[in-house]
Amino acid sequence: MKLVKKFTQSAALVATMAMSHSAMANDAMDLDALLKTLQQGKIAQSQENQEREKAFQARQSEQLQMLRSAEQTRNAKLQESERLETAFEDNEVKLAQLSDTLQNRMGTLKELFGVLQQVAGDSSNKFATSVVSAELQGRDTFMDELAQQMGSTSKLASIEDIEQVWFELQREMTEQGKVSRFNTEVIVAGGAKESKEVLRVGAFNLVADGKYLEYNNVTNTLSELTRQPVARYTSSAAELQQAKDGFVQFALDPTGGSILGLLVQAPDTEERVHQGGTVGYVILAVGALALIIALERFISLMLIGGKIRRQLKDKVARDDNPLGRVMKVKDQYPDVAHDTLELKLSEAILREMPKITRNLTLIKIISVVAPLLGLLGTVTGMINTFQAITLFGTGDPKLMAGGISQALVTTVLGLVVAIPTVFLYTLLNTRSKNLLLILQEQSAGLIAERSEKGA
**Mind listing the pLDDT tens digit for each residue in 219-256?**
888 888 777 777 777 777 777 778 877 787 777 777 66
For residue range 64-118, list pLDDT tens digits in order.
888 888 888 998 899 999 989 999 998 998 888 887 776 676 666 667 777 787 8
Judged by average pLDDT, the poorest of 97-101, 263-267, 406-410 is 263-267
Helix (H, G, I), strand (E, B) or coil at 220: coil
**What global pTM score does this model have?**
0.54
Phi, psi of 197 (to 5 degrees): -85, 120
pLDDT averaged over the chain? Answer: 79
In contact, 308 and 323? CB cutoff 8 Å: yes
343 pLDDT exceeds 70?
yes
Which range among 226-230, 273-277, 443-447 has the greatest average pLDDT? 443-447
Q: How many CB atoms lie within 10 A of CB 421?
A: 25
Q: Quick one: which of 253, 244, 277 has its CA closest to 202? A: 253
Q: What is residue 454's predicted lDDT score, i.e. its pLDDT?
A: 63
292 pLDDT exceeds 90?
yes
Q: Is 391 exposed, middle or buried (0-12, 13-18, 19+ CB in 10 A)?
A: exposed
Q: What is residue 153's predicted lDDT score, i.e. its pLDDT?
A: 61
5 pLDDT exceeds 60?
no
Considering only residues 372 and 249, tell me which one the structure prediction assigns the higher pLDDT.
372
DSSP label at residue 451: H
Q: How many angstroms separate the CA atoms of 228 and 234, rounded?
A: 7
Phi, psi of 201 (to 5 degrees): -100, 90
Q: Quick one: how far is CA 16 from the chain centroid?
A: 97
365 pLDDT exceeds 90?
yes
Q: What is residue 313's predicted lDDT score, i.e. its pLDDT?
A: 84
149 pLDDT exceeds 80?
no
DSSP label at residue 222: E
Q: How many angstroms separate the CA atoms of 97 and 112, rounded?
A: 23
Q: What is the torsional sign of CA 386, 391, 393, 395?
A: negative
Q: Is 249 left (phi over 0), alpha (psi -120 to 50) or beta?
A: beta
DSSP 157-191: PPHHHHHHHHHHHHHHHHHTT-EEEEEEEEE-TTS
In contact, 380 and 409? CB cutoff 8 Å: no
Percent of the chain with pLDDT over 90: 11
Judged by average pLDDT, the poorest of 8-12, 222-226, 308-312, 441-445 is 8-12
In contact, 413 and 283? CB cutoff 8 Å: yes
Q: Quick one: which of 428, 315, 320 has its CA closest to 366? A: 428
Which of the four pLDDT bands, split at 50, 70 and 90, describes residue 341?
Answer: confident
Judged by average pLDDT, the poorest of 50-64, 70-84, 254-268, 427-441 is 254-268
Helix (H, G, I), strand (E, B) or coil at 333: coil
The residues that bridge with 207 in the sheet, in sequence order, are: 199, 212
Q: What is residue 286's predicted lDDT score, i.e. its pLDDT?
A: 92
**Residues contacting residue 375 through CB under 8 Å, at least 6 positions apart:** 411, 414
Judged by average pLDDT, the poorest of 5-9, 66-70, 152-156, 167-171 is 5-9
In contact, 320 and 307? CB cutoff 8 Å: yes
In contact, 392 and 399? CB cutoff 8 Å: yes
Q: How many angstroms separate the CA atoms of 132 and 382, rounded?
A: 46
Q: What is residue 3's predicted lDDT score, i.e. its pLDDT?
A: 42
43 pLDDT exceeds 70?
no
Percent of the chain with pLDDT over 70: 82
Judged by average pLDDT, the poorest of 30-39, 156-165, 317-326 is 30-39
Considering only residues 136 and 28, tell me which one the structure prediction assigns the higher pLDDT.
136
Q: How many angstroms separate the CA atoms of 252 and 108, rounded?
A: 43
3-state secondary structure 23-88: HHHCCCCCHHHHHHHHHHHHHHHHHHHHHHHHHHHHHHHHHHHHHHHHHHHHHHHHHHHHHHHHHH
9 pLDDT exceeds 60?
no
Max Cα-Cα span within the chain = 192
In contact, 117 and 110? CB cutoff 8 Å: no
6 pLDDT exceeds 70?
no
In contact, 417 and 395? CB cutoff 8 Å: no
DSSP 274-288: HHTHHHHHHHHHHHH
CA atoms within 13 A on the CB side of 1: 2
Q: How many angstroms separate the CA atoms of 88 and 30, rounded?
A: 85
In contact, 337 and 454? CB cutoff 8 Å: yes
Q: What is residue 11's predicted lDDT score, i.e. its pLDDT?
A: 47
Q: What is the average pLDDT across 298-315?
A: 88
For residue range 431-441, list pLDDT tens digits in order.
999 988 988 88
Q: How many angstroms separate the CA atoms of 253 and 274, rounded?
A: 29
